[in-house]
């Protein structure tokens, strides 16, 4: 969809072809490299400052991280939004949404909070975190996960409702492919209940967020739902019918395996707890209500 011929097809694309056509496939690759370069730089910056603080106990590291946070959040939001435009929205070139970047961000927030809960539970069960994490922290993480589940559903429903109400064919085509095509309607129903309704009823309970087996189950479930959600807004553009392929799972395992391998490598080399953070004692005594 980044070829000049495709970008110029149709009156609706007149205002899009400048971006989709820019540099052709090479331009798309350059933009992707820019996104990844910024994300990697940001991650390494925060990681380096945190690990250096473990060694020198200098509060200046915390102040630098706090000062960088506002701009980091702004540029992270912008790069994530344009990456979503390039990598996903362009698969349906006649469709557009002004809040698509927010939808992708909300899904990413769900995934990272669920992953943090699962990883910390695994480390805790092996005695690698000591008393640094307890039920109070899982309760807070569970509330964040619950909040982003509601936010994600709100953004998704708002996007659908506004486009349904406007009844513009170019906007409806996105939902038509996911509601009327063979198999995809079932996936849509599955996401309505599996990504929102059931997790909402499950995680709204205070007991669930404080019982480790229950919050572990809820978090792993949301990781699976996030994968299904990403599959749902990517694959209908490639296959008119719902027909999963073994390569879909293989790609997920490849990317997840590389990411997991890097994380495990870093875990072996550095402290799992920010022992140099002057606010650690306050975090250890954290209480949630």
pLDDT in the model for residue 191: 97
Place of tokens 């109400």: 165
| pLDDT given at position 8 | 43
Using CA atoms, how far apart are residues 35 and 40, in angstroms rounded to an integer? 9
Looking at the chain, the whole-number percentage of residues with pLDDT higher than 90 is: 69
The structural domains of the chain, with segments of one domain joined by +, span 1-94, 95-272
Spatial distance between the Cα atoms of 268 and 256, rounded to a whole number of angstroms:
18
**Helices and strands, counts by H and E, the chain:** 13, 0
- What's the mean pLDDT when you consider all of the chain? 90
Tokens (6 digits) for 283: 């975090």
Per-residue pLDDT, averaged over 31-40, amounts to 96
Average pLDDT rounded to a whole number, residues 84-102: 89
* String of DSSP letters for 168-225: -HHHHHHHHHHHTSTTHHHHHHHHIIIIIIHHHHHHT-HHHHHSHHHHHHHHHHHHHH
- What pLDDT, on the 0 to 100 scale, is given for residue 155? 97
Q: What value, to the nearest 5°, has the Cα angle with vertex 214 and ends 209 and 215?
A: 45
pLDDT tens string 62-81: 999 999 999 999 999 999 99
Q: Which of 4-18, 99-113, 207-221 is least confident?
A: 4-18
Rounded (5°) CA angle 35-38-44 = 135
Average pLDDT over residues 272-284: 89
Q: What is the pLDDT of residue 11?
A: 64
Residue 12 pLDDT: 66
For the segment 219-266, what is each residue's pLDDT rounded down to a tens digit? 999 999 999 999 999 999 888 888 888 999 999 999 999 999 999 999
Query: pTM of the predicted model, to two decimals?
Result: 0.91
Helix (H) or strand (E) holding 76: helix 60-87
Distance CA 95, CA 159 (A): 12
Q: What is the pLDDT of residues 120-165, one digit of tens each?
A: 999 999 999 988 999 999 999 999 999 999 999 999 999 999 988 8
The pLDDT, as a whole number, for residue 6 is 47
Contact 48, 71 (CB under 8 A): no
Q: What does the block give as tokens for 3?
A: 């070829």
Residue 7 pLDDT greater than 50, yes or no = no
- pLDDT confidence of residue 17: 75
Report the C-alpha gap between 202 and 76 in whole angstroms: 31
């Amino acid at each position: 969809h980044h070829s000049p011929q495709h970008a110029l097809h149709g009156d609706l694309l007149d205002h899009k072809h400048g971006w989709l056509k820019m540099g052709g496939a090479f331009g798309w690759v350059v933009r992707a490299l820019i996104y990844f370069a910024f994300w990697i730089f940001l991650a390494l910056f925060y990681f380096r400052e945190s690990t250096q603080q473990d060694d020198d106990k200098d509060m200046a590291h915390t102040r630098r991280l706090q000062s960088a946070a506002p701009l980091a959040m702004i540029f992270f939001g912008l790069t994530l939004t344009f990456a979503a435009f390039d990598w996903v929205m362009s698969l349906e070139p006649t469709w557009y949404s002004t809040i698509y970047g927010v939808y992708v961000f909300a899904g990413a927030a769900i995934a990272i909070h669920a992953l943090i809960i699962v990883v910390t539970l695994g480390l805790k069960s092996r005695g690698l975190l000591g008393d640094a994490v307890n039920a109070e922290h899982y309760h807070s993480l569970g509330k964040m996960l619950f909040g982003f589940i509601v936010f994600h559903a709100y953004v998704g429903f708002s996007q659908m409702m506004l486009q349904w109400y406007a009844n513009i064919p170019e906007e409806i085509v996105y939902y038509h492919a996911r509601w009327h095509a063979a198999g995809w309607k079932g996936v849509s129903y599955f996401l309505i209940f599996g990504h929102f309704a059931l997790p909402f009823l499950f995680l709204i309970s205070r007991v669930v967020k404080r019982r480790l087996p229950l919050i572990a189950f809820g978090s792993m479930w949301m990781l699976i739902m996030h994968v299904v959600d990403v599959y749902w807004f990517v694959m209908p553009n490639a296959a008119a019918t719902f027909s999963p392929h073994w390569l879909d799972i293989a790609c997920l395992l490849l990317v997840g395996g590389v990411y997991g391998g890097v994380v495990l490598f870093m875990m072996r080399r550095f402290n799992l707890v920010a022992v140099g953070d002057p606010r650690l004692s306050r975090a250890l005594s954290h209480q949630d209500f």
